[in-house]
Chains A and B, each alone.
Chain A
Amino acid sequence: AQSVTQLGSHVSVSEGALVLLRCNYSSSVPPYLFWYVQYPNQGLQLLLKYTSAATLVKGINGFEAEFKKSETSFHLTKPSAHMSDAAEYFCAVRSAREGGKLIFGQGTELSVKP
């Protein structure tokens, strides 16, 4: 069965600093991987997705993620944090074998200090 682990429930960075949010997955088939962002009391918005094309995926708001099969990782990065990046981030894996449902990690709350 597929699973996702996000390392660190809370990450704090200074404005302008590198953002690194970690995600490791477990999958017995080639995975589809996603990063979503959630602002308070709102739904989830797709940041980026990996669907077996390029291993370095660029998303919205300057975020990108690299798929590393050997490490079963899909870490999210952004070179320079903005105050508006403060939110909760979810990594998810979708399996072609399980009805197309998404399996989510526990989430990582990102705080950005001025």
Chain B
Amino acid sequence: DGGITQSPKYLFRKEGQNVTLSCEQNLNHDAMYWYRQDPGQGLRLIYYSQIVNDFQKGDIAEGYSVSREKKESFPLTVTSAQKNPTAFYLCASSRKSPLAGGELFFGEGSRLTVL
């Protein structure tokens, strides 16, 4: 079945360590997104990519990095510069043009806890 796969589902990290969250989609979507979710704050956009080898910062990009070397993959690295990385991270994808439907499809999320 087509969809978005995020891994790992749960991840523990020590302070000062970088971690990479995986996001793979087989929907043939051009655009991919990373959101961060914290209780009571909704979802906030970290990075997004509309095409391979190109990506843009979202609203809270500091302390994060991404790459888009393949259409199917959009990994997110949480660096040690991120001051409060404990959160639930959601990856999503959509067709490039919002006029073609516009909805986002989400993965199941990755919960990162910094010890």
Contacts and interface: CB of A to CB of B under 8 A. Distances in A.
Interface residues of A, number: 25
B106 A43 contact: yes
B58 A105 contact: no
Interface stretch (B12-20, B67-75, B77-85, B94-102): B94-102
A104 B42 CA distance: 6
Nearest to B10: A41
Contacts of B107: 43
B31 A100 contact: yes
A68 interface: no
B50 A42 contact: no
B113 to A, nearest CB: 13
A76 to B, nearest CB: 15
Contact of A44 (B44, B98, B99, B106): B106
Interface in B28-53: 31, 33, 35, 40-45, 48, 50
B31 to A, nearest CB: 6
A45 B106 contact: yes
A63 to B, nearest CB: 15
Interface of B: 4, 6, 31, 33, 35, 40-45, 48, 50, 56, 58, 88, 90, 92, 94, 96-99, 101-109, 111
Interface of A: 9, 32, 34, 36, 41-46, 49, 51, 90, 94-96, 99-107
